[in-house]
Structure 1
Amino acid sequence: MRKLTRFTSAAAALATASLLSACATLAEKPVSGSKILLLGEVHDNPDGHAQRYADLQKMVVAGWRPAIAMEQFDRENQAELTQAQATCTDADCIISKVGNKRWEWPHYRPVIQLAIDYKLPLLAANLSRSDAARVMREGYAAVLDKNAITSYKLDQPLPALVVDGQRAAMESGHCGKMPDNIVPSMVRAQVARDVVMAKIVTENADRGVVLLAGNGHVRRDLGVPVWLPASQQSSLQIHGYVETDDSKSGSVSIYDVSHVVKTHTRPDPCLSIQAPKSTN
């Protein structure tokens, strides 16, 4: 694992973000230059999934052959995912063998079938809920080895921008019902997820890699890009598939390109959200 200068990579990336978004389209840039493509999502938005799939399909048909890392598969299931891809001829087969029931798999079936048809490796990119809970209770060492903790400087205080930004995002996502005493552990779990995704992206960047994950995970100011080494920033491009144009956080562009899709009709999530239980 390369030593990282945490947050230097993110700062350097901001200098190139406007150039990337101004001169490149999603269909052409990754094929001609970028080796790392982060594609966000609103998990339950079918229009966003359809547009993202069409964009990715276009690049693959044009000749790009990246690995496809997916938040929807937990990292400990990589061996099962690899075996399923070796034996399955359709997406439903892989989903039945490895898919976690909490995801709406019809949204992801086309991408998985694309990977099968073009022999693109599927990568399990997420930290499981059980491991995230362990991080909340016990800290990073519960699920990450010493080398990872040192390399990503998780044995040091997190940058204030990450902590404050994650806190704001979580409080908003939980409709203001999150107790103050649980926020630090929730931030720690979210950072652990982003670090795991970043590690998998870094390990597969040489051949080219696409990460499919929620828009929060691909944010340049808070998510996976913060944890990528500076040497990979020039090969990185980030696309958010969003329901509102939230491409800015203050003066910072959080995606290189924002694709605004039709808002999905859903019940008010605040009506069903309960405050998380304290881990103390």
Structure 2
Amino acid sequence: MTLSLAAALLAAGCATGGGGPAAASAGLLEAGKPQVLLLGEVHDNAEGHKLRYALLRERVEAGWRPAIVMEQFDREQQDVLSKAQKGCLDAQCVIRVAGGARWDWQLYYPVIQLALTHQLPLVAGNLSRADASRVVRDGVSATFDPQSIKDYRLDQPLPAAVTSAQRQEIVSGHCNMLPEMMVGGMVNAQVARDIWMAKIIRDQQPRDVVLIAGNGHVRNDIGVGYWLRQGTPALTVRSVAFVERGPGGRFDSQYDSIQAVAPQTRDDPCQQVKK
């Protein structure tokens, strides 16, 4: 028996970005029927993964047939991923063949299994560490072809608002302990990831697309949502964040909708940065 998103939200006791669980379900599932649905995550938050999967499953079981672009697979692995999807009977096989060591794959098992069950294309969306290193060394345009450089104006300085906000996120995300000499390169790498995801999403047209990625990537103001709006033709894009939001947290200008989830119990990440 299928559990609706509204029921899942109620069962989890989860606050929403406005209007309560039932209103959130209706808004996420129906608002504009976007061609591109950007679904965020806090990577290790199990509750957020469950709620996001409930949303996606409900739409797919209602007849939606998007391609699923995933940050968790590097774009160079697309051939391996496509072969795994054709040859594997379950998600564990896909993970074994095409996954790597960087992710807690059991959190993504339900989405991958949903794709296999309904024959939805799985698309690798991330920049590999090797390519990210090239970007850090040679600049944000280092991994793009000439047409993409033109399309995304990468032969010009990046918009100041984008670089400023990305810089703030990267510095705070590293507990304000990142050496200054590293910040610019890491900003370029993050921007390059967002542009690649936007480009790969556009490459799936005319098929609808859902993106599975971190909350930072699905932002409308500086992330994939921003870069999708720089290209043509215009696409209907909707971004949904699943955030660990404390009292007074404000994210409303960054996303179209927000689902607040309980914080995941974890060790202090700043202790790892200090080491």
TM-score (norm 1): 0.85
Question: Any residues of structure 2 matched to 1:1-280 within 5 Å, and which?
Answer: 25-29=27-31, 33-229=33-229, 231=232, 235-244=236-245, 246-248=249-251, 253-274=253-274
The offset of 1:234, in angstroms, is 5.4
Tell me, in whole angstroms, the C-alpha distance in 2 between the residues paired with 1:232 and 1:225. Answer: 14
Look up the equivalent residue of 1:81 and give its one-letter code. Answer: L
Contact preservation (8 Å) 1:28, 1:59: no
Tell me, in whole angstroms, the C-alpha distance in 1 between the residues paired with 2:260 and 2:205. Answer: 27
The offset of 1:151, in angstroms, is 1.3
Aligned length in residues: 251
Tell me, in whole angstroms, the C-alpha distance in 2 between the residues paired with 1:274 and 1:93. Answer: 37
Tell me, in whole angstroms, the C-alpha distance in 1 between the residues paired with 2:61 and 2:228. Answer: 28
Look up the equivalent residue of 1:80 and give its one-letter code. Answer: V
Tell me, in whole angstroms, the C-alpha distance in 1 between the residues paired with 2:161 and 2:140. Answer: 19
Q: Structure 2 vs 1, CA of residues 193 and 112 (structure 1 numbering), >3 Å: closer, same or farther?
A: same
Tell me, in whole angstroms, the C-alpha distance in 1 between the residues paired with 2:96 and 2:126. Answer: 18
CA deviation map 1:253-277 (0-9, x unaligned)? 10111000010000000011158xx
The offset of 1:179, in angstroms, is 1.5
Tell me, in whole angstroms, the C-alpha distance in 1 between the residues paired with 2:37 and 2:205. Answer: 10
Tell me, in whole angstroms, the C-alpha distance in 2 between the residues paired with 1:65 and 1:142. Answer: 34
Q: Structure 2 vs 1, CA of residues 201 and 234 (structure 1 numbering), >3 Å: closer, same or farther?
A: closer
CA deviation map 1:204-225 (0-9, x unaligned)? 1421000000000011111011
Tell me, in whole angstroms, the C-alpha distance in 1 between the residues paired with 2:256 and 2:65. Answer: 22
CA RMSD, Structure 1 to Structure 2 (Å): 2.0
For the residue of structure 2 that corresponds to 1:142, the secondary structure is coil
Provide structure 1 residue ranges, at least 5 long, that are not aligned to the other structure.
Answer: 1-17, 276-280
Greater alpha carbon shift after TM alignment, 266-275 vs 174-183: 266-275
TM-score (norm 2): 0.86
Taking only the aligned residue pairs, the percentage that are identical comes to: 51
Q: Structure 2 vs 1, CA of residues 168 and 140 (structure 1 numbering), >3 Å: closer, same or farther?
A: closer
Look up the equivalent residue of 1:26 and give its one-letter code. Answer: L
The offset of 1:111, in angstroms, is 0.2
Contact preservation (8 Å) 2:36, 2:235: no
Look up the equivalent residue of 1:238 and give its one-letter code. Answer: S
Look up the equivalent residue of 1:94 and give its one-letter code. Answer: V
The offset of 1:24, in angstroms, is 5.5
Provide structure 2 residue ranges, at least 5 long, that are not aligned to the other structure.
Answer: 1-17
Contact preservation (8 Å) 1:42, 1:215: yes
Name which structure has the greater RCO, CA cutoff 8 Å, separation 6+. 1
